[in-house]
Structure 1
């Protein structure tokens, strides 16, 4: 009996000694590197043993953690890329329910991310010219310039660049960094003149459609008749009609059926508009018009492919200009839209 109890105790002890740690199981499941840094100290890191047990490693004096090799290397090589900033005191802590060693993208940014350690979020940033890959959980080269934070890498100080995801803001280049700037209320960024211009009626920028309107008021979306905007605190919030219906500006609501041929005001310059009947979802034209008359809002030509709002977050979607309307398209699973080339390509 004593022999049996002793054997059970020994087996239980052995199981406890080699129980897989959550951090190691997490990294193995996602095929991530089995080592990660201590975000508060470049000379200390963690690695998983063959039995998936987490071990802390402290580098010798003059050496730091090497993320490529998972070992300690000479500090003279400039290997320490950590910000070594204090953990953030956030109202909503992204690492509150995460295990140590998890890398999380920082919302609204493409180079910034967090390293979770002891349920605290340590802010980090990828080098200029790279971006944070949420799938690989690491920084990768931004070869296709997908990250807005890299727009100014080769630009002069003081250069103004358009923000593809917002018509009422732009980027100011400073020391190679892109700093987002807002145009004044009721104005938009003119991509040709590279300045902010008045847009009190939302004629050139959908983000200005709700200026002066009551909360809860509905506004037509001239680019998509199957959706509309609801005004909240002067800002338009996009909503979608139920399947099989469209937004009727006369009824100020969604009605059954498909979009009917209608008259759409299309901005042609900064100061004038032209009114033309362009058939939606048809090749017919109600009145003789020139080819340019069916350009899409924003001056896009027939057949032009346009990045989707909040690109690159919605990197698999884009708009196609067709009969005066910007139609939403998708590249398909495993692909993304290359805004520079205007084509869909594998998301590798």
Structure 2
């Protein structure tokens, strides 16, 4: 080896020594990257790389979340909103499932791709994340020891800034917990006691500006802190508020579908002869009685003097009853009503009459009763119901007798129960005449019998016109029944309703909503 070779070796050895002296030790790499800052629970921030994603702090860890399909993250409101204007084109690929990355904020853990999102994962106690090996290894050099010791689960400490609450150790970190209403935190006993001295009553209830909370009264919106007080904010149309994520998400399950208040009444835009009523949380169609229409101003059915509700059928018209071959449908007062053929006959839809049932068309129908069975007729004390061919039909007691429901037989009418009725006299079909026992009603001939009908409330039957007319002159309404305008009475059956006198008539109104329902 020549002196020149020796000089070259010394030259490079000397410079290599200088490089090694200036280089940091291998085991100290990445230790300065430890960030002891803990994120604020629930705080969200936009993802600069994906407009349809955001970061949220949950249980002290920063987790990447993704908005629902068709929505984007609005950094102004810190919520996901429906992308109506096509503002955002979400990133096609978030991460590779199972992929690991260095967590620049926590050397004692790492970031892992789970279900397409980057999630923060902590190494087990006594380990740190080796960025070279991309795995958790034993923390021989105390890389994670610089982090403050975790608290004991369930430990409680005083909150110096809030006498109405305290700090509690949850999942290794202290969190704010409020005492229940009417109590304060006693730091000596470390428990919440009844606030007899009003320690907390003098403290104005305030919130952190921009803070978002669930609105227990409205799943389609939330409460947001504005100028120190919580205000109601609605989610955009087609979304609902997710209390777990504290953001509005697309309402795929119809959580915010149209609902109503039980018993509420609304106008039916498709039918002036009826209305919509809230039943079991949904609006259902209800028809006004025959000869009336729905007045949307008063929210009640009134007499149809102007013929607003045209007849749905021609009076006396007969149609087949698709549900009953042993009967038919007949138009009575503009409505189709079910009528039965006489026993032993069926309805022939071709000639639209009842014929003798020679082929036993109706015999196949299960019998409702045994032939000869007798029951009381609730509509006629002077007769009864008798079973013939499996169905009950009406029968009359002989003149001068009535039906005794206890003995189930006709007995002599000593008390004149049936004397006021003329059962023998027949009538002309659909004929109308006044009812001597009811000035607010009339008698109508249906199937050869006079049937009592009532006019709408607030009207009477005019025997000259043979129609129901509004009772402006109190023809049928006694003086005792007339109320004083504006008078109110409590509804003992339902505290959400009350009675108010309008135009001399007591109407039922809802106390919470301006809804007039019915006359009393």
TM bucket (normalised to shorter chain) is under 0.3
Query: Which structure has greater helix proportion?
Result: 1
TM-score, scaled to structure 2: 0.18
Higher relative contact order (CA 8 A, sep 6+): 1
